[in-house]
Amino acid sequence: MRLSLGQREALWAFAFLAIPLAFFLYFRILPAFQALLLSLYEWHADPSMRRFVGLEHYGRLLEDPLLRRALLNTLLYTLLGVPLQILLGLVLALLLRRAPWGRDLFRAVYFAPYITPAVAVAWVWSWMLSPHFGLVNEILGLLGLPPQPFLQSPSQALPTVAWVVVWQNLGFQIVLFLAGLESIPREYYEAARIDGAEGFRLFRHITWPLLNPVLVFSVVIGTIGYLQLFTQVVNLNFTDQGGPLNSTLTLALYIYQLAFLRFQLGYAAAVTVLLFLLILLVTLVQLRFLSRRVEL
């Protein structure tokens, strides 16, 4: 049987797609199912000594105060960080778009922290925020303000970590929104100006609706990143990870502590399943309520 040109192209397309699909299934989907299976067992290094406990670990989720604290902190990180980095990213992108010169230079400067390893960023900020010899407190002293504990304060630690993450991710948001702004046809603005629209009306009726795909992508990716927050929390306060008094503890860090410090891999897998379901639910809700068709 001789295949047509279209059938041969489709066959080759599926053949090339099968390679990344197999990679994705093996390294992404299979570990997820293994984590789900592991959550039903009391883990032991010897497979013959692993004990099936069913939904016991999931029942423990409802009674774990540390889990509730980690979940609350994770949600606070998300509620603080995502809106702030999107707002700052959009405002700076709008300003850079109007810049008469140096746009590429500013874009590179803002983007540099995003491509810098998160561990390095966290350690530098940890030194800068030191209550004793940190640069930030020295600046506050020059301004006549008292030194702040920042990462050593249970009330200031979480907002401080959130701000560091926002600062590091800001460049990505700026580049993303700049790309979205540049993709909007200039004819729309020219037609609106002929009809008398200026300033905020242009932004409200043209820029904001046409930026919706970029906004949805930014919100979803940013939310997933904050729900999985780990590296900055661990390294900003390396001697008291998740502290002080668990004020910066996240779900990802709690999973790490359960699995590799307490060796409770079964329960850690149950918390992982909870985190996966949380990310899935939040993402579906965001896609449902943020995505919209644009009609000009």
Per-residue pLDDT at 45: 67
Hey, CA dihedral for 290, 294, 295, 296, is it positive or negative? positive
**pLDDT tens-digit map of 267-281:** 999 999 999 999 999
Question: Is 125's pLDDT higher than 90?
Answer: yes
Q: Which of 2-11, 61-70, 117-126 has the lowest mean pLDDT?
A: 2-11
Q: Which CATH number fits domain 39-187+213-290: 1.10.3450.40, 1.10.3720.10, 1.25.40.340, 3.90.780.10?
A: 1.10.3720.10
CB 258 within 8 Å of CB 267: yes
Strands (E), the chain: 41-42, 51-52
Per-residue pLDDT at 295: 52
For residues 148 and 130, give the distance between their C-alpha atoms in angstroms, rounded to a whole number.
9
**pLDDT tens-digit map of 217-231:** 999 999 999 999 999
Q: Please, is 262 exposed, middle or buried when counting C-beta atoms within 10 Å of its C-beta (0-12, 13-18, 19+)?
A: exposed
Q: What is the DSSP letter of 203?
A: I
Q: Which amino acid is at 163?
A: W
Per-residue pLDDT at 4: 77
Which two tokens mark 250?
């996240």
Higher pLDDT, 112 or 31: 112
Q: What is the DSSP letter of 153?
A: -
CB 161 within 8 Å of CB 126: no
Question: Is 173's pLDDT higher than 60?
Answer: yes
Q: What is the DSSP letter of 241?
A: T
Residues 138-160 have a mean pLDDT of 92
Higher pLDDT, 2 or 90: 90
What percentage of residues in the chain have a pLDDT greater than 70?
A: 97
Q: What is the DSSP letter of 218?
A: H
Question: Is 1's pLDDT higher than 70?
Answer: no
Q: Which of 35-39, 119-123, 159-163 has the lowest mean pLDDT?
A: 35-39
**pLDDT tens-digit map of 181-203:** 998 888 888 888 887 778 788 88
Rg of the Cα atoms in the chain: 24
Place of tokens 């192209």: 9
Q: What is the DSSP letter of 152?
A: G
Residues 237-261 have a mean pLDDT of 92
For residues 139 and 172, give the distance between their C-alpha atoms in angstroms, rounded to a whole number.
28
Higher pLDDT, 82 or 34: 82
Q: How far apart are the first and last CA of the chain?
A: 51
Per-residue pLDDT at 13: 86
Domain ranges for the chain: 39-187+213-290
Question: Is 44's pLDDT higher than 90?
Answer: no
